[in-house]
Structure 1
Amino acid sequence: MKFKDKTIIITGGGKGIGRAITERFVSEGAHVIICGRRDPETLPENTHFLALDIREAEAAQTLIDFAIEKTGRIDCLINNAGGGPPVASAEASPRLTEKIVALNLMAPIYLSQAAYPHLKKTNGSIVNISSVSATRSSPGSVVYGASKAGLLAVTTSLAMEWAPEIRVNAIIVGLVKTEASEDHYGGVKGMAHLSSALPMKRMGAPDDIAKACAFLADSENSYVSGAALEVFGGGEPPYFLKIAEEAYNLK
């Protein structure tokens, strides 16, 4: 019960990776505040939900005020909500580009700013959920990758600027199996083929990310700040190895 009576804010905490993070903190005694554009079908115990769109700048203060109203304190902000549809870069509209940047980069900045005075009081922390798309090329999701890379820069800069009162860390998330994975990775067969090519022979589970969040949010790890924790099971094999193997077989 490391987080007993502490308040954790998790954006997008009602489904997928966010839901696993929510359940992890609830299981360790926390009061959890989550938000999303749609109400979740169920809520874990000690969880409060607020419907809003974090892409709107004013939503940040609304969410922080809601958390203070419900529990009176904030101990950790987890900027989990994110994403972006695959789109050819030459065809991406300015409006879509702005929405992807707003969700993955601007919203975490606004939320961190709004949470700052409350986290300073509790010597709290921020955990930013980034992606392997931030650290490797991401054709077809250029803006998503760029905004997640920007989030890593936000992490290191705020970790330095807001120390020693507030710790700021990030998680670089690899391929994770969620309820939406089948559509994204070509169905059951596609996921099995993908898993077989990964070093750990499986995709990540949402709880793998949740455990990492709990580690970074734990005040006992007080010297961990400005870190980007890679939770991707050893990474993705470089494509040049496949090309080299194919070239060898052509001999």
Structure 2
Amino acid sequence: MELGNPIDFNGRVAIVTGGTQGIGAVIAEAFLAAGAEVMVCARTTPAALPSSGGRHAAFHPTDVRDPAAAARLVAATAEEFGRLDILVNNAGGSPDADAATVSPRFVEKVVALNLLAPFYVAQAANLAMREQPEGGCVINIGSVSAHAPQPGTAAYSAAKAGLLGLTRALALEWAPKVRVNHITAGLIRTASAAELYGEDSGATVAGIVPMRRLAVPADVAHACLWLAGPHSSYVNGADLAVHGGGEIPARDLARRNTGPAPFSST
């Protein structure tokens, strides 16, 4: 079997939700650089669109939490470019909140954005992809919170755990025409890193990651290119960890700070 060029996406079309800023914009730029046509979406029109080599992403205003709006996004993409090959469900996120006092409305909004919205867009994308001889692929951007929740992330962690389960379920139902995979993203250095990780923009936090650095958005983008490319044609229902090895266990960090624990026979 001829493998082909893993970064040649000429003639292919991708949607990147939340693709106007942050990690999503870098994912969109990576697909543009590889030759794909890219549609990005957000609720509001951005000041500038992702671009690479003089080529720009198209934009469709969309609230992906609305099933009808999700369907319109896919329809608009197919109408403009004639097909749809790749969906990257990147839109998501949540501020921290105390689970004991958080409002039902907050929980509903977090679950809608991080679990229901990817489901809605994937449903619409599948309808288009399954009619194409080449099928297509869906990539869901998840979080380490699905595996290891932190305080203040109850609704977010639950939604992201649901997204991982959804990925595996859809991979069973939609193969072989449409592959569905998941990326577990770890700590990522973004423009808001100082707000998230401290005034040193994550330099201290990087010490708990085995790779000794935070991820950058390009790390996630490159994983998307691989999952959407020919070298992953048999990868379906996978959870690709892009987290630098996770986090060093607290007991090992404590040992580094205090030295080896005294021997005990009890």
Q: TM-score range by the shorter chain?
A: over 0.9
Structure 1 window deviating more from structure 2 (232-241 vs 205-214): it is 232-241
Q: Identify the match of residue 199 of structure 1 among 202, 206, 210.
A: 210
Q: CA RMSD in A?
A: 1.7
SS at match of 2:187: coil
Q: Equivalent residue for 2:93? A: 83
Q: Identify the match of residue 70 of structure 2 among 60, 72, 93.
A: 60
| CA–CA separation in structure 2 for the residues paired with 1:244 and 1:89 | 31
TM-score by length of 2: 0.89
Q: Equivalent residue for 2:36? A: 30
Shift of 1:240: 2.9
Query: In the alignment, is residue 173 of structure 1 matched against residue 177 of structure 2?
Result: no
Shift of 1:246: 6.0
Q: Identify the match of residue 243 of structure 2 among 211, 220, 232.
A: 232
| CA–CA separation in structure 2 for the residues paired with 1:144 and 1:57 | 20
Percent identity of the aligned residues? 43
Shift of 1:248: 5.9
Query: In the alignment, is residue 241 of structure 1 matched against residue 252 of structure 2?
Result: yes
Structure with the bigger percentage of helix: 1
The letter for the 2-side match of 1:216 is: L
| CA–CA separation in structure 2 for the residues paired with 1:96 and 1:227 | 30
Flag structure 1 segments of 5+ consecutive residues without an equivalent: none
Q: Identify the match of residue 125 of structure 1 among 111, 127, 137.
A: 137
| CA–CA separation in structure 1 for the residues paired with 2:231 and 2:246 | 28
Q: Equivalent residue for 2:115? A: 105
Q: Is the 8 A contact 1:30 1:46 kept in 2?
A: no
Q: Equivalent residue for 2:15? A: 9
**1:173-210: CA deviations, max 9, x gaps?**
0000011111111222x611112332112100100000
Q: Equivalent residue for 1:42? A: 48
| CA–CA separation in structure 2 for the residues paired with 1:146 and 1:203 | 23
| CA–CA separation in structure 2 for the residues paired with 1:6 and 1:152 | 26
Relative distance call for 1:250 and 1:159 in structure 2 (3 A) is closer
Q: Equivalent residue for 2:174? A: 162
Relative distance call for 1:160 and 1:119 in structure 2 (3 A) is same
Flag structure 2 segments of 5+ consecutive residues without an equivalent: 1-6
Q: Is the 8 A contact 2:16 2:24 kept in 1?
A: yes
User: Which structure has the bigger radius of gyration?
Assistant: 2
How many positions carry a matched residue from both structures?
Answer: 250
Q: Equivalent residue for 2:102? A: 92
**1:72-107: CA deviations, max 9, x gaps?**
100011000100110000111000100000000000
